[in-house]
Structure 1
Amino acid sequence: MGKEISINGYELEICSNSPQSACYAAKGGATRVELCQNLENGGTTPSYGQIVQTRRLVDIGIHVLIRPRGGDFVYSDLEFEEILADIQFCKKEGCDGVVIGVMCKDGTVDVKRTKALVEAARPMHVTFHRAFDKCADPFTSLDVLIGLGIDRVLTSGLQNRAEDAVALLKQLVAHAAGRIVIMPGAGVDSSNMEMILKATGVTAIHSSAKETISSQMIFDRAEVAGMNEPIFSTSKEKVHQLVDILKKE
């Protein structure tokens, strides 16, 4: 298990898409990482090797995104069994938490399945991810998650970027009243984090702090499309910038 740390009373979670990115996040001073892969598609469950390597290399908290595919958050029975199996593996490997999100077709939280996932995950921490931003009623959904014992909600305030939803985020913090952590994410960086913190009153923040890495290939076969695209990586320098801001708050 990773050590629980805070930065001047704040949690800084960095979304990292590889063991290398997780190392950069830790060296930059992050509280924990949300480990995923396929960040270009919003993030999916990391591989066995990524989870094992990250746990071996990183001593801060590791919360693993459990999302079997891109697209919506309405899952088949087979997909749900896959989610359960991934949660059990994360527990076995000493991860600190999992990040889940299961919805019904009508925009409500899938209570039965979420309850089963929370029970399977304990004693790990459980975060409900940005599936929340597709809900029909944020306050009703928040009450449901509180009742299910979810520890925190990662949300952009039902907008594409958290900075555009500070009014709702502040209302969610007030509605939560300390019963669940509201953690803004999506488009959070050094240019807007301080504003989001002050405008909403949150004490946890989520950022990818990413940079774009161009292909290392010198030779390219123009006849074959793709397989040479830029990739994302956590930037240790960008994490440092966020940490420095939090230390001054």
Structure 2
Amino acid sequence: MKKILEVCVDSLASAKAAAEGGADRLELCSALAVGGLSPYGELLQQIKAVCALPVRCLMRPRAGDFLYTAEEIELLCEQIRHLRAAGADGFVLGALTLDGALDEDAMQKLLDACAGQPVTLHRCIDVAQDPEQVYRTAAALGVDTVLTSGAAASCLEGMDMLARLLALREEIGGPEVLIGAGVNAEGIRTLQARLPGARAFHMSGKILIESGMRFRREGVPMGLPGLDEWHIQQTDAGAVRAAKAALD
């Protein structure tokens, strides 16, 4: 099977850098600083106009847990339909029950809205009660990829679970295991040495770009504590290039 390096981006500049670095696929979101939210169709169109890479759109209506109301699921379905029309090549989604299982009813509604386009189950699996059962359920629903850190804060910490999911992939012919959270060139080398079946990786490759603003009013945060307004997170083409070389 082909090795895959997917890069998560939330801007046109990051998409261009990911393509320059040799990414195989993009995951597009907004608000990456809070783990990613559903992206704008207009940004997708901008990226598709200058980048030939396939783009899967992350579908997440808000930050926080993955226990969604009926209204939130309907919002996601409407966003999926809009992004399909804007040129999305696939989607990244997931929903859990209050007991931490995959919400099959919600998932089926989302999959129906995707209308047969490729789907990745996102990292809701990493906060589920039984990641292996969630993987099996995702496989039964027809999901082709599962993004996971191995139910840990980083993929290097989650190697035991990743090993079990990779073994399950081989056992049932299940979805690709897309390894994420803390992925870089060194991490890919470590994971491939420990997990020979690892062949798909997800990274952001972000660096902080200094703001061009000369005037800066300090002490007026616009969002999460600890984030300032004078540095912009952006994908670094060099980091992507190094990761791609490690993967190949």
Same fold per superposition (TM over 0.5) = yes
Structure 1 Cα separation of the partners of residues 98 and 210 of structure 2: 38
How many pairs were matched up? 240
Amino acid at match of 1:217: M
> Residue by residue, what CA displacement relative to the aligned partner does 1:15-55 show, whole Å, maximum 9, x if unpaired?
11112211111111100100111111001111122111112
Q: Does 1:188 align with 2:183?
A: yes
The 5 A counterparts of 1:100-139 are 100-139=93-132
What is the SS of the residue equivalent to 2:158? Answer: helix
Q: CA–CA distance in 1 between the matches of 2:131 and 2:191? A: 19
Please report how far the alpha carbon of residue 144 of structure 1 lies from its aligned counterpart in structure 2 after TM superposition.
Answer: 0.7
Distance 1:97 1:218, change over 3 A: same
Are 1:35 and 2:28 matched, yes or no? Answer: yes
Q: Which residue in 2 is equivalent to 1:232?
A: 233
Q: In structure 1, how many angstroms separate the alpha carbons of the residues matched to 2:22 and 2:221?
A: 38
In the alignment, structure 1 segments of 5+ residues that lack a partner are 1-5
Q: State the alpha-carbon separation in 1 of the partners of residues 192 and 56 from structure 2.
A: 22
Deviation digits for residues 206-232 of structure 1 (CA, Å, limit 9, x no counterpart): 011111122221111236344624221
| Shift in Å, 1:172 | 0.6
The answer as to whether partners of 2:44 and 2:87 remain within 8 angstroms in 1 is no
Deviations 1:188-247 (A, max 9, x none): 111211111232212111011111122221111236344624221111111111111122
TM-score norm. by structure 2 comes to 0.92
Quote the Cα distance in structure 2 between the aligned partners of 1:168 and 1:32: 25
Q: 1:50-199 maps to which residues of 2 (within 5 A)?
A: 50-177=43-170, 178-199=173-194
- The root-mean-square deviation of aligned C-alpha atoms, in Å, is 1.5
1:78-122 CA-to-partner distances (Å, cap 9, x unmatched) read 211110011112221221110001111110000011012112213
SS in 2 for 1:142: helix
Q: Percent identity?
A: 33
Residue 205 (structure 1) aligned with residue 201 (structure 2): yes
Decide whether the 8 Å contact of 1:19 with 1:57 is kept in 2: no
Output the TM-score relative to the length of structure 1: 0.92
